[in-house]
Amino acid sequence: MKALVHILSKLPFRIYRPLAGIAPKLFASVFFRQKFHRDLNWEHPSDINEKINWLKFYGDTSQWPLLADKYRVRQYVKQCGLEDLLVPLYGVWQRAEDIDWDSLPEQFVMKPNNGSGKILICRDKSTLDTTRWTKKFHQLLKVKLGNVLAEPHYNKISPCIVAEQLLDNTKQDVTSASLLDYKIWAFNGQPAYIVVYYDRKPGQVTVDVYDCNWKGHPEYIVPSAHFHKGDHTIPRPAVLDKLLQAASRLSAGHPQIRADFYLVDGRPYFGELTLTASAGFNESYTSEFKEILGAKTSLPNKTH
């Protein structure tokens, strides 16, 4: 198997890409090898990338389709006693053709529940080309995200389209072109680090890392054309303790989870839960930070 992985990893991505859907573990081995120039250690995984991949195929993923579902995760958030953190919901549709555009307010956010990054941010409905967006969502609902980078749990999500309130990014502690996204890494109920994404623009985002005492760790970020290091300290959120408590509840019983939150006008809102951050192929963290996160991820016994 190792020889096959080495051979395939020398091929262009487009050649072996179909393996993500038909042989996802093999794809993960090949892509990992091509990306990091070393073999993924399935027997003794160490860093967070290796452990995320291990969990995909050997962990208990029975809850993953619910937790990764941007609509049905709301049920889980309520069960955790955190309903007050949910963004107000405007509508849910199983088919793009059924979207009731007339029922929506002038401003809203719309997204598929099983995708990543494909979001309609509407600030003025009068200028919205609803025909184009109906066609776009029709296509997005057909995408099998699990077959893109070997994340099988996404293919078990029943697709739908969700419309929610548009949060105002001008009412934040820091001037930003986008909402500040507080991504809290937590491990079996224990929050550890907060990665903040802000100033999102096409193809790039600024990233900061803080520990739970709000000490900055810029040394953990690997800058690239897409990921920029922040050049100033983001103020410690007044509700940081509430965010950490929420992340603790949401991650209880799970080896690792990244729980995302927003803060608007001092009020926290739940964003989403991520079980396979960067699909287990993260390049924006240093090796040291990936090992730190991996050390905090306790793996259960294999389930299959």
Residue 303: is its pLDDT beyond 70? no
Backbone angles phi, psi at 19, to 5 degrees: -60, -25
Q: What are the residue boundaries of the structural domains of the chain, listed by start?
A: 1-36, 41-85+169-304, 88-164
Rounded Cα–Cα distance for residues 189 and 187 (Å) = 5
Contacts of 149 (CB under 8 A, 6+ apart): 20, 27, 31, 279, 280, 281
Q: What percentage of the chain carries pLDDT values higher than 90?
A: 92
- CATH architecture label of 88-164: 2-Layer Sandwich (3.30)
Is the full-model pTM beyond 0.85? yes
- pLDDT recorded at residue 25: 97
Name the strand (E) or helix (H) holding 30.
helix 24-36
Q: Which residue carries 């992340």 as its tokens?
A: 247
What confidence tens digit (pLDDT) does each residue in 269-302 have? 999 999 999 999 999 999 999 999 999 999 988 7
Tell me if 41-85+169-304 shares its fold with 88-164.
no
CATH class, range 41-85+169-304: alpha beta
Q: How many other CB atoms are found less than 10 A from the CB of residue 58?
A: 17
Tens-place pLDDT, residues 53-83 = 999 999 999 999 999 999 999 999 999 999 9
